Amino acid sequence: MLQQNIKHIGVIGTGVIGTSWATYFLSKGFEVTASDPAPGAEKSLRAAIAANDPTLPLNLLHFESDPEKAVRDVQFVQENGPERLAFKQELFKRLDACTDPSVLLISSSSGITPSEFQSHAKYPARILLGHPFNPPHLIPLVEVCGGKATSEEAIQQTLAFYTAIGKKPIRLNKEMKGHVANRLQAALWQEAFYLVQQGVASPEDVDLAISQGPGLRWALLGPFLNLYLSGGPGGIKHFLEHVGPSIQTWLNDLGKIEINDELIVLLSKNIDGMLEGKDISKIAEDRNRVLLALMNMKDKAENLP
């Protein structure tokens, strides 16, 4: 029987993602014990949470540098340590050995599959993936996926828990490198890099092609429902029958790209140029402010997913 009653959460690793998860869990009223061995980690964590949400009381936040002590009284663990297979296998082995088998042990990993990081544990049925999007205190999506040894009960409880606290979890029925959302992003990045490399458009215009074009719709509906609407009364069937042959020729023509030194220099030079005279922290502030307003509006639009 896994946990039904989650009150206290262990957040292991308090870098970019762990800090943001801790902010979110505290904002939902959970007690949080965080852990990170880096010198000064507790001070940085408290400062970063206060910066994320200055109204948040920090009396429910505890800190232990030792992860085993941090998970002593928790019912749910969100792991956000370094993205290295051997590290995660060893950490999950330790967390598994020092927690009751009813405690859900979740990793935020972007690229390591749950079958890999659960493989050294004695009770792997409660070990699975809960991959967030940066920053998790703002972006609702979490990708949930079990490994070979994860129980269906643990997957269902994790989906139910994230839903209950206001996240929008999706379930992956199969483990796949990069999960779902990053694979979709990678497909887009590949073509964005290619278009710049080929001199078809500047990085600034490629960005505008998304942020002032399809990106506006994608924040509201995904590719399938947007395609359905593009098909008029005939929906996606009509759209694909009508425009599909043309799309096939674009698909056949898409670029292949290699992320090598040459590409990194080309993109960073161009994008540094594009940012000249602009304050990136102000851009991030505006992005986060507008994002929150948009999400508030979405919450009130009952026909949007």
The pair of structure tokens assigned to 230 is: 């593009």
* Nearest approach, Cβ of residue 20 and ligand NAD (Å): 8
Q: How far is CA 126 from the centre of its chain?
A: 20
Amino acid at 73: D
| Residue 130 interacts with ligand NAD (CB under 6 A): yes or no | no
3-state secondary structure the chain: CCCCCCCEEEEECCCHHHHHHHHHHHHCCCEEEEECCCCCHHHHHHHHHHHHCCCCCCCCEEECCCHHHHCCCCCEEEECCCCCHHHHHHHHHHHHHHCCCCCEEEECCCCCCHHHHCCCCCCHHHEEEEEECCCCCCCCEEEEEECCCCCHHHHHHHHHHHHHCCCEEEECCCCCCCCCHHHHHHHHHHHHHHHHHCCCCCHHHHHHHHHCCHHHHHCCCCHHHHHHHHCHHHHHHHHHHHHHHHHHHHHHHCCCCCCCHHHHHHHHHHHHHHHCCCCHHHHHHHHHHHHHHHHHHHHHCCCCC
Which residue's CB is nearer to ligand NAD, number 30 or number 116?
116
Which residue's CB is nearer to ligand NAD, number 95 or number 195?
95
| Residue 288 interacts with ligand NAD (CB under 6 A): yes or no | no
Residue, CB closest to ligand NAD: 15
| Residue 145 interacts with ligand NAD (CB under 6 A): yes or no | no
| Residue 17 interacts with ligand NAD (CB under 6 A): yes or no | yes
| Residue 132 interacts with ligand NAD (CB under 6 A): yes or no | yes
Cis amide leading into 57 (omega within 30): no
Which residue's CB is nearer to ligand NAD, number 15 or number 140?
15
Which residue's CB is nearer to ligand NAD, number 15 or number 231?
15
User: Which residues, 62 to 91, sit near ligand NAD by CB under 6 A?
Assistant: 67, 80-83
Q: Given its phi and psi angles, is residue 60 left (phi above 0), alpha (psi -120 to 50 degrees) or beta?
A: alpha
| Residue 147 interacts with ligand NAD (CB under 6 A): yes or no | no
| Residue 119 interacts with ligand NAD (CB under 6 A): yes or no | no
Closest by CA to 41, choosing from 61, 71, 25, 68, is 61
* Nearest approach, Cβ of residue 187 and ligand NAD (Å): 18
- CB count within 10 Å of CB 75 equals 21
Which residue's CB is nearer to ligand NAD, number 134 or number 248?
134
Which residue's CB is nearer to ligand NAD, number 75 or number 116?
116
* Nearest approach, Cβ of residue 47 and ligand NAD (Å): 14
Residue selected from 9, 10, 34, 36 as contacting ligand NAD according to rule CB under 6 A: 36
Contact mark string toward ligand NAD, 93..112, x via CB under 6 A: ---------------xxx--
Which residue's CB is nearer to ligand NAD, number 16 or number 254?
16
Which residue's CB is nearer to ligand NAD, number 17 or number 103?
17
| Residue 12 interacts with ligand NAD (CB under 6 A): yes or no | yes
| Residue 13 interacts with ligand NAD (CB under 6 A): yes or no | yes
Give the binding-site size for ligand NAD (rule: CB under 6 A): 22
* Nearest approach, Cβ of residue 81 and ligand NAD (Å): 4
> Which residues of this protein are in contact with ligand NAD, per CB under 6 A?
12-18, 35-38, 67, 80-83, 108-110, 131-132, 134
